[in-house]
Structure 1
């Protein structure tokens, strides 16, 4: 299902999104009509719309459009994409009227199996924005998968860890949950877990991975997903801290749409 401003989206409108690839989005999991961190998702859309288009979004209108496609019962994943169908490749400065595209897909059964990831030197354009421009992310994910891994983990030239392509990463060193201090998207699931569980934010490098007892990925679609290995460093995918974090996340009350 795909609706633009509450009506079926046209091929011409989707073609503009595909060819210019300029906009932002957020993906959220709806469980029985409620969303964990819904206000944070909406704040992200408003913030990114100001950065990309210089205008504010009508939050109430966004909620209304999400309600149109969200079932009252069961679980689903909804993506809200904000883009201007009139965007022109030669004059992106004229893209000042963002529209709201809402799409729906089945929600995965949690928890998902552990990930094996490969580090790669890369930083997304405007890492603080959840951009529809996913070329670099998909290129590095594809290269990692062709090399036998599930996904790519982004680091800088000094091996400082930032994020995965579509997820944040956290660690457990035996005493503390640690979130890397680096340029990365402030994911909603990560922020909810930071509120729920004592943690530290610290510069974290590949050279320090041997001291970590567990690693995990977070986003709205996967919740808390174990990472079994980064490059040639392996972690306990069944570490008890992962179950604690999953429970704390699932205990976060959902907000009604």
Structure 2
């Protein structure tokens, strides 16, 4: 079977990938995609979009440059991936909440010392300004602006964190969620953290479809699925 990899900056497909063309074949016909030094085995049909390396980035030397890109010995090296709404087909645990309801899931190659948007710092600042608190059954605690007629349609808007004893982001970081009013109504929540030494995870959801009470269970499923896709101890040339 032939799959097409799209580059969003080109009108035509950027590359074609056929698992059968690989000298060393993946037993499940999955595509090997690299974000920095991290290599993931992914079903190509679950990728909504890939973004090529920046023009000034130096690609890592593959084990076999004569192999088609996407093969085990020549992973397709990308700057970021956007996973499509079918991401829940990738999950081992099919219980609700479903990632079909996510706005976006993105994996981004990043330096080891870049942690992405630090929503936990924004939470600390917001809690100094807003005195209203919201305590959820899963341990999340929100700092929210005062209720007004203008924000009545986005009652979940605010900044949330949870005690590290209950749940935390990888690398022993605080797990934080930033929720803002959405248009035309409702609340859109954002999560961002480093999930692998060279990869940051970013995703967005609406509280109308995924309740904040389910946010930790959802994050655990997404995180475990990404870790499950990682090729352990992948050796570059």
- Higher relative CO (CA 8 A, sep ≥ 6), structure 1 or 2? 1
TM-score by length of 2: 0.25
More helix by share: 1
Structure with greater Cα Rg: 2
TM-score by length of 1: 0.24
